[in-house]
Chains A and B, each alone.
Chain A
Amino acid sequence: MIVGVLAIQGDFGEHIKMLQGLGVETREVRLPEELENLDGLIIPGGESTTIGKLAKEYKMIEPLRKFGEEKAVWGTCAGAIFLSKDATRVKTGQPLLKLMDITIQRNAFGRQVNSFEVGLDVPALSAVSEENPPFDSVFIRAPLIESVDAEDVEILSSLEDGTIVAAKQGNLLATSFHPELNDDDRFHRLFLTMIKK
């Protein structure tokens, strides 16, 4: 199994480290041909404007779309924006992959001084961990999932006020926070089970 990490910009190195810690072979992906023979792909956190622009200029949008129609893709923060079918507060003309039936709001919590950490209950993680303590989640200028727009979208976690911050639809996973910045690898293990299916 080889898992790719989109390496246009952002914290792709942290995802790669996490995957390697789980004994998974990884590949940095910057160009369409680098998607070949991958079993899954992670789109990391970063600036969604930069990632979208460079993906478009290097003709990655269609190949990424095709990849996501068949194989497992996980977007964290900026990556979740990129995966979404619709997004608000994005830059005009910012390209989206339109793979996952969610509407996402960029920079939903405000500027950097409003960034926060919180422990989240994620029942779905019990599939990879018997004891399932709250997942320490890092929200950095984070987006939120405004709505899930299809019946097969499963809400994995919400904040206390009901704001949706993690969702899954078939082979697609979106989190508005950064599991790659933790020592806790449960989300990465959950993603690997989506690949093996």
Chain B
Amino acid sequence: MAKEENGKEMASYKLKAGLAQMLKGGVIMDVVDADQAKIAEDAGAVAVMALERVPADIRADGGVARMSDPDMIEKIMAMVSIPVMAKVRIGHFVEAQILESIGIDYIDESEVLTPADEAHHVNKHKFKVPFVCGCLNLGEALRRINEGAAMIRTKGEAGTGDVVEAVRHARTVFGAIRQLQTMAEEEVYAYAKEIRAPYHLVNEVKELGRLPVVNFAAGGIATPADAALMMQLGVDGVFVGSGIFKSGDPASRAAAIVKATTHFNNPEILADVSRNLGEAMVGRQISSMSDDEKLADRGW
């Protein structure tokens, strides 16, 4: 919903997707208070995600996970000069209205929180604030973009410290894009139907050879090597949730993951930044989890 103000165009899709372009090659870190936000900014984070509990704690505590207290989010916004993001439940457009009213820079409509609507996501075109959404595969990414998402993240499995699902989802998306590029034009119609995605977006991906928006990885990244692995697979940047502040030495680990994301193709630097980081988060192996413990299946 672009609108004019003194000859200026505000809130256009180009501006929403453009902010994500500026985050590329960077690390977005989950933080639960202003002190953590400061540590993240000092470590070189390009943005922080303000939330009351990191995914590992949401898992451990159980119960309904909701949008964070606006007061806590505002304290984080006051503490740092980098963009601040916050999460709303899938489909909870009122939580999104609240975050927009306090001036948040980006909204994550996230499967990490308990979904509020089992059929519909937020109509993101109606907001001035840009949205990032999770995906398991190309079809889900394009459904979210069609609803107005200006940035995509592959979901991974949040709060586990196990990178295997992040890898699976990134490979699934990039594999589908490569497959799409080899298709004959007439095959694209059936393929769009098969992956339940709008034809015009499927066709755009075929032409571009990539998603039309910035694509980060999330869910399970716990070490500098994990971050570099995702970058080498082809994502534009990484979200690190529980991996930093559930580790032994958050400041060092945060700085090391930032460096690894920039120098993802330089094994000597990766070796150097991987030294003496203390304990990584303990983590949970995804293969030991039952299906109903997995968050990534939320989203439609």
Which residues does A use to contact B, with CB under 8 Å? 7-14, 30, 45-47, 49-50, 53-54, 57, 77-78, 89-91, 106-107, 111-119, 138, 140-141, 160, 178, 181
Residues of B within 8 A of A53 (CB): 44, 258
- Once the chains bind, are A46 and B18 in contact (CB under 8 Å)? no
- Once the chains bind, are B259 and A115 in contact (CB under 8 Å)? no
Residues of B within 8 A of A30 (CB): 262-263, 266
Closest residue on chain A to residue B84 by CB atoms: A111
Closest residue on chain B to residue A90 by CB atoms: B81
Can you offer 10 A-B residue contacts whose CB atoms are under 8 A?
A11-B22, A50-B45, A54-B44, A90-B81, A91-B81, A112-B129, A115-B11, A117-B12, A141-B22, A160-B7
Given A7-B25, A9-B24, A47-B82, A141–B19 Cβ distance below 8 Å? yes
- Once the chains bind, are A138 and B18 in contact (CB under 8 Å)? yes
Given A116-B15, A138-B14, A49–B81 Cβ distance below 8 Å? yes
Which residues does B use to contact A, with CB under 8 Å? 5-12, 14-15, 18-19, 21-26, 41, 44-47, 81-83, 100, 103, 105-106, 128-130, 258-259, 261-263, 266
Residues of B within 8 A of A141 (CB): 19, 22, 83, 105
Q: What CA separation (Å) do A38 and B26 show in the bound complex?
A: 25
Q: How far is the CB of B1 from chain A (nearest CB, A)?
A: 12
- Once the chains bind, are B44 and A50 in contact (CB under 8 Å)? yes
- Once the chains bind, are B262 and A8 in contact (CB under 8 Å)? yes
Choose from B8, B128, B258 the contact partner of A113 (Cβ within 8 Å): B128
- Once the chains bind, are B18 and A140 in contact (CB under 8 Å)? yes
- Once the chains bind, are A11 and B21 in contact (CB under 8 Å)? yes
Residues of A within 8 A of B6 (CB): 160
- Once the chains bind, are A10 and B22 in contact (CB under 8 Å)? yes
Q: What CA separation (Å) do A41 and B220 show in the bound complex?
A: 36
Q: What CA separation (Å) do A141 and B81 show in the bound complex?
A: 10
Given contacts A50-B82, A112-B83, 9 further A-B contacts (CB under 8 A): A8-B262, A30-B266, A46-B22, A47-B23, A78-B22, A112-B19, A115-B18, A116-B8, A140-B15
